[in-house]
C-alpha cells in the first residue's frame, strides 16, 4: 500500500460500517424495548437517588442483572430487556463484589436497615467490605423535629450524638426501595 | 546530534536540526506527562486494593472506592497509555518516513488536550459527576470531547507526516497507528451521541464501546509500536509483512463484533451474544498472526533480547498479548462465563491485557526509542529492577485475581450465602495489594529512568554494558 488516502478512507469506511451495524443499529432498535408490564417510572426522590448511586459508583460492585442461571435465583427472576426501560444510564454493572440489587426493594424494604447499612455496613453485616458513607449523614447533639434520625448502634456512632440522614441519603434509600422486579405473568416459564 | 557541528551546516540543515530537536522535545513531553499519570493513577489503584482488606481505610467522599475506581481506570487508559503510545506513534511516523514530524503545533495542542481531559476527568469523577459508571466512558461528554480532540489532532499529525514520507510504501507500523486514530475518532463520536442509547439499547452500545476502546485504540497503537521497534532494535526486518496486513484487516473486522461477550446471560438478544462468542474465536486469527510474526522476528536473537534495555519488555508484551487475548477467547465461552462472569477473574484479565500487553509494549517503546532520540540512557540496573518488579508484580496480580474470581464463582454456583464469596476471595485480595505495591515501585523507578532519559542534565556514563549499547545503537 503506498497511498495514504486509500488506506485512511478504506479503514474509516470499514470501521464506520462496523460501528453502524454493531453499535448504532442494535442500540437504536433495543432502545425501543417496551417496559416490562407493571414497571413504574421513578418518582422524583428515587430519580435523585439514582443520580447519587451513579455518582458514588455503586454499580462497580453491585450488578443489576439477574442471569438465567441457578446461582442467580437468589437475586430474583431473570432480568428482561423491558426491566431497563427507565434505566438510563444503564447500571447492569460488570462485577458482583457485593450482592445484585435488581430486586433489593423487595428483598430489603426497610429504610432503617438501609440507612444504618450506608452509615456503617459492618454494623449490620459481619465481614462486609462495602465502603461506609458517613458523609451522607450529619452527627448532631439534638435532632430537630423534622430530622430523620437513624438508630445507629451506639458502638458505631460518635458518643453523645444523634445521626441524622441528609436529603441525599434519603433519596438514595428511596431509589434502593424502588428497585423491584415487576412479577412476570404466571405462564412465563422459569428457566 | 551534537550542537558542535551546527556551525558547518547549511541553513536548510540547521532548520532540519531544530525541527528534529523539536520532535525529540515532543516525544519527551508526551512520555513525561504519561509517566506522571501512571504514577498518580496507579497510586490510586494501590489505595483501592488496600480498601478490599481495610474497608474503613480513608473513608472520605473524595477518596471513596466508587469514585476513585473510575479515576484509576480512565487515568491509566487515557492519561498514561494514550499519551505514551501517541508520543511513540509521532516519533515512529517521523523516523519510519525518513523525515521530521509535520504539524508540530497540532502535536503540542494534542498534548495539552489529552492532559486537560485527564485533569478535568479526574476532578469531575472525584466530585461524583459521571456519565454513569459505564466502564471507560465515565467522563462526561465535555471532558471526553477534549480527549477526542486530542485523538483527532494526533491523527492529523501522523497522517500528514506519513503522507510526506520519502519511502514509497507506507510502513506497516503506520498502518496500525493511523488505524488507531481513525477508529477511535469514529468510536468516540458513536459513543458520545446520546440520542439512540436508552435502557437495553445503551447496554448494547456499552458492550460495543468498552471492547473497542481497548481493541481499536490501545491494541492498534501498541501493535504499531511493536512493528516498528522490534525490527529496529533487532536490526532485522519483520518476519512477514503479509501477516501484519492480515492482522490489520482481521482485527478491524472481528473486534467490533465481540463487544456483547461482556454481557453474556444478560437480556441482550441471545443470538447477538452468540455472534460475539463466535467472533471471539475469530480473534485468534489476528492475535496469533501478530504474536507469531513478532516471535519469528525475535527467533534466534535471544541473546540480543536478553542484553537489551527494551527488548525484554517487548518479549513480555508479546507473550501477554498472546496469553491475554487467547484467554479472552476461551473466557467468552458460555460454560466458563457462567462461573467467571462478574467475578474478579475479569479484573485479572484486564490487567493481563492493559498492563501485561499494552503497558509493557509502551515501556519497551520508550526504553528502546527515547534514548535514541535524546542521546541519554537510563541506568541498566534500574531498568532491570523496573522490569522484574513490574513483570513479577503483574504476573502475581493476574494469578491471584484469577484464583479469587474462580473461588467467587464456585461459591456462587454452590449456592453458599453471598458473604462466603467475599470471605473466600479475601486472602487473594491481600495478595493483590502486595503485587500492586511491587507494580507501583516499578513505576517510581520508571519515572526516575524517564527523568534520566529526558530532563537529566548530562548524558552521564552509566552502568550499562557496552554490548547492549552497541546492539541498540548500531543502526542509528
Give domain status of residue B67, yes or no: yes
Give domain status of residue B207, yes or no: no
Give domain status of residue B276, yes or no: no
User: Which residues in B lie closer than 8 A to residue A68 (C-beta atoms)?
Assistant: 265
Give domain status of residue B173, yes or no: yes
Q: How many CB pairs under 8 A join A and B?
A: 230
Q: In what order do the strands lie in the sheet with A162-165?
A: A137-140, A162-165, A149-150
User: Which of A11, A50, A166 to mutate: most B Cβ within 10 Å?
Assistant: A11
Interface of A with B in 112-131 (CB under 8 A): 121-122, 125-131
Domain boundary among B194, B224, B245: B194
**HEC string of B156-202?**
HHHHHHHHCCCCCCCCHHHHHHHHHHHHHHHHHHHHHCCCCCCHHHH
Asked if the Cβ–Cβ distance from A33 to B199 is below 8 Å, we say yes
CA A146 to chain B, closest CA, distance in angstroms equals: 26
pLDDT band at B14 (very low <50, low <70, confident <90, very high): low
Are residues B186 and B311 located together in one domain of the fold? Answer: no
> Within an 8 Å CB–CB cutoff, is residue A161 touching chain B?
no
CATH number at residue B363: 1.20.210.10
| Residue B370 belongs to domain spanning | 301-476
Are residues B441 and B312 located together in one domain of the fold? Answer: yes
Domain boundary among B145, B161, B194: B194
User: Which residues in B lie closer than 8 A to residue A118 (C-beta atoms)?
Assistant: none
Grid cell, residue B155, equals 491523527
Domain boundary among B162, B194, B226: B194
Asked if the Cβ–Cβ distance from B65 to A79 is below 8 Å, we say no
CA B450 to chain A, closest CA, distance in angstroms equals: 33
Asked if the Cβ–Cβ distance from B262 to A128 is below 8 Å, we say no
Confidence at residue B466, expressed as pLDDT on a 0 to 100 scale: 43
Give domain status of residue B54, yes or no: yes
Of A68, A88, A99, the CB nearest to B202: A88
What average pLDDT does the segment B305-329 reach? 97
Per-residue model confidence as pLDDT tens digits over B396-442? 999 999 999 999 999 999 999 999 999 999 999 999 999 999 999 99
> Within an 8 Å CB–CB cutoff, is residue A155 touching chain B?
no
User: Which residues in B lie closer than 8 A to residue A56 (C-beta atoms)?
Assistant: 64, 66-67, 128
Instruction: Give DSSP secondary structure letters for B52-104.
Output: HH-TTTT-SGGG-HHHHHHHHHHIIIIIIIHHHHHHHHHHHHHHHTTSPPS-H
Give domain status of residue B372, yes or no: yes
CA A142 to chain B, closest CA, distance in angstroms equals: 24
B255: Cβ contacts below 8 Å, ≥ 6 apart = B211, B212, B215, B216, B219, B283, B286
Confidence at residue B458, expressed as pLDDT on a 0 to 100 scale: 73
> Within an 8 Å CB–CB cutoff, is residue A9 touching chain B?
no
Segments making up each domain of chain A, as ranges? 44-178
> Within an 8 Å CB–CB cutoff, is residue A10 touching chain B?
no
Per-residue model confidence as pLDDT tens digits over B436-456? 999 999 999 999 999 999 999
Asked if the Cβ–Cβ distance from A95 to B132 is below 8 Å, we say no
Give domain status of residue B405, yes or no: yes
Per-residue model confidence as pLDDT tens digits over B77-99? 999 999 999 999 999 999 999 99
Confidence at residue B273, expressed as pLDDT on a 0 to 100 scale: 97
Q: How many residues does chain A have?
A: 191
For residues A2 and B150, which has the higher predicted lDDT (pLDDT)? B150
CA distances in angstroms from B61 to A97, B50, B65, B332, listed in the order given: 20, 16, 9, 36
Q: Judging by beta carbons within 10 Å of its beta carbon (0-12, 13-18, 19+), is residue B150 exposed, middle or buried? A: buried
Among B18-22, B29-33, B198-202, which is the least confidently predicted range? B18-22
Confidence at residue B167, expressed as pLDDT on a 0 to 100 scale: 87
Per-residue model confidence as pLDDT tens digits over A122-173? 999 999 999 999 999 999 999 999 999 999 999 999 999 999 999 999 999 9
Q: How many residues does chain B have?
A: 476
Number of domains in chain B: 2
Give domain status of residue B49, yes or no: yes
Assembly ipTM: 0.95
| A44-178 CATH | 1.10.760.10
User: Which residues in B lie closer than 8 A to residue A71 (C-beta atoms)?
Assistant: 412-413, 415
User: Which residues in B lie closer than 8 A to residue A69 (C-beta atoms)?
Assistant: 265, 338
Amino acid at each position: 500500500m503506498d497511498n495514504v488516502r486509500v488506506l485512511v478512507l478504506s479503514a474509516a469506511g470499514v470501521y464506520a460500517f462496523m460501528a453502524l451495524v454493531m453499535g448504532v443499529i442494535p442500540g437504536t432498535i433495543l432502545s425501543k424495548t417496551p417496559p416490562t408490564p407493571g414497571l413504574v417510572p421513578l418518582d422524583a426522590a428515587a430519580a435523585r437517588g439514582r443520580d447519587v448511586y451513579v455518582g458514588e459508583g455503586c454499580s462497580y460492585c453491585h450488578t443489576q442483572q439477574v442471569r438465567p442461571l441457578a446461582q442467580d435465583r437468589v437475586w430474583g427472576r431473570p432480568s428482561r430487556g423491558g426491566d431497563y426501560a427507565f434505566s438510563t444510564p444503564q447500571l447492569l454493572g460488570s462485577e458482583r463484589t457485593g450482592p445484585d440489587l435488581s430486586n433489593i426493594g423487595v428483598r430489603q424494604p426497610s429504610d432503617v436497615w438501609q440507612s444504618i447499612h450506608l452509615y456503617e455496613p459492618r454494623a449490620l453485616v459481619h465481614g462486609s467490605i462495602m465502603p461506609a458513607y458517613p458523609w451522607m449523614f450529619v452527627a448532631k447533639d439534638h435532632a430537630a423535629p423534622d430530622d430523620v434520625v437513624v438508630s445507629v448502634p451506639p458502638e458505631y456512632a460518635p458518643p453523645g450524638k444523634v445521626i441524622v440522614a441528609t436529603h441525599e441519603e434519603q433519596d438514595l434509600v428511596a431509589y434502593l426501595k424502588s428497585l423491584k422486579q415487576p412479577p412476570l405473568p404466571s405462564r412465563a416459564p422459569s428457566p | 546530534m551534537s550542537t558542535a557541528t551546527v556551525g558547518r551546516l547549511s541553513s536548510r540543515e540547521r532548520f532540519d536540526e531544530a525541527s528534529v530537536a523539536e520532535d525529540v522535545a515532543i516525544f519527551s513531553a508526551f512520555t513525561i506527562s504519561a509517566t506522571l499519570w501512571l504514577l498518580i493513577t496507579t497510586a490510586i489503584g494501590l489505595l483501592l486494593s488496600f480498601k478490599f482488606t481495610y474497608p474503613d481505610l480513608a473513608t472520605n467522599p473524595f477518596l471513596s472506592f466508587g469514585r476513585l475506581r473510575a479515576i484509576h481506570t480512565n487515568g491509566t487508559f487515557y492519561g498514561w497509555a494514550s499519551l505514551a503510545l501517541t508520543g511513540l506513534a509521532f516519533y515512529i511516523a517521523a523516523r519510519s518516513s525518513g523525515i521530521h514530524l509535520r504539524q508540530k503545533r497540532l502535536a503540542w495542542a494534542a498534548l495539552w488536550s489529552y492532559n486537560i481531559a485527564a485533569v478535568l476527568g479526574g476532578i469531575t469523577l472525584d466530585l461524583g459527576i459521571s456519565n454513569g459508571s459505564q466502564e471507560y466512558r465515565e467522563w462526561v461528554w465535555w471532558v471526553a470531547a477534549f480527549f477526542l480532540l486530542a485523538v483527532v489532532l494526533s491523527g492529523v499529525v501522523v497522517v500528514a507526516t506519513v503522507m510526506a514520507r520519502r519511502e514509497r510504501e507506507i510502513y506497516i507500523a503506520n498502518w496500525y497507528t493511523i488505524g488507531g486514530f481513525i477508529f477511535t475518532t469514529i468510536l468516540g463520536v458513536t459513543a458520545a451521541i446520546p440520542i439512540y442509547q436508552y435502557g437495553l439499547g445503551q447496554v448494547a452500545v456499552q458492550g460495543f464501546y468498552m471492547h473497542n476502546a481497548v481493541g481499536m485504540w490501545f491494541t492498534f497503537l501498541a501493535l504499531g509500536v511493536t512493528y516498528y521497534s522490534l525490527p529496529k532494535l533487532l536490526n532485522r526486518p519483520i518476519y512477514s509483512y503479509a501477516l501484519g496486513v492480515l492482522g490489520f484487516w482481521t482485527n478491524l473486522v472481528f473486534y467490533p463484533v465481540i463487544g456483547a461477550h461482556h454481557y453474556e446471560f444478560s437480556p441482550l438478544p441471545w443470538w447477538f451474544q452468540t455472534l460475539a462468542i463466535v467472533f471471539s474465536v475469530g480473534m485468534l486469527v489476528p492475535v496469533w498472526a501478530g504474536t507469531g510474526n513478532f516471535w519469528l522476528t525475535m527467533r534466534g536473537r535471544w541473546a540480543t533480547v536478553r542484553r537489551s534495555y527494551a527488548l525484554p519488555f517487548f518479549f513480555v508484551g508479546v507473550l501477554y498479548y498472546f496469553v491475554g487475548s487467547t484467554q479472552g477467547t476461551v473466557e467468552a465461552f458460555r460454560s466458563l462465563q457462567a462461573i467467571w462472569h462478574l467475578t474478579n477473574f475479569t479484573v485479572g484479565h484486564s490487567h493481563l491485557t492493559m498492563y501485561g500487553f499494552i503497558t509493557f509494549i509502551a515501556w519497551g517503546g520508550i526504553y528502546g526509542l527515547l534514548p535514541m532520540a535524546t542521546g541519554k540512557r537510563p541506568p541498566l540496573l534500574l531498568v532491570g529492577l523496573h522490569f522484574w518488579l513490574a513483570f513479577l508484580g503483574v504476573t502475581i496480580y493476574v494469578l491471584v485475581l484469577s484464583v479469587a474470581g474462580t473461588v467467587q464463582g464456585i461459591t456462587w454456583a454452590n449456592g453458599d450465602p453471598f458473604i462466603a464469596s467475599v470471605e473466600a476471595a479475601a486472602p487473594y485480595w491481600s495478595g493483590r495489594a502486595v503485587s500492586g505495591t511491587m507494580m507501583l515501585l516499578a513505576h517510581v523507578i520508571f519515572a526516575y529512568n524517564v527523568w534520566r532519559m529526558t530532563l537529566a542534565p548530562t548524558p552521564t556514563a552509566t552502568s550499562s554494558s557496552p554490548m547492549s549499547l552497541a546492539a541498540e545503537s548500531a543502526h542509528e
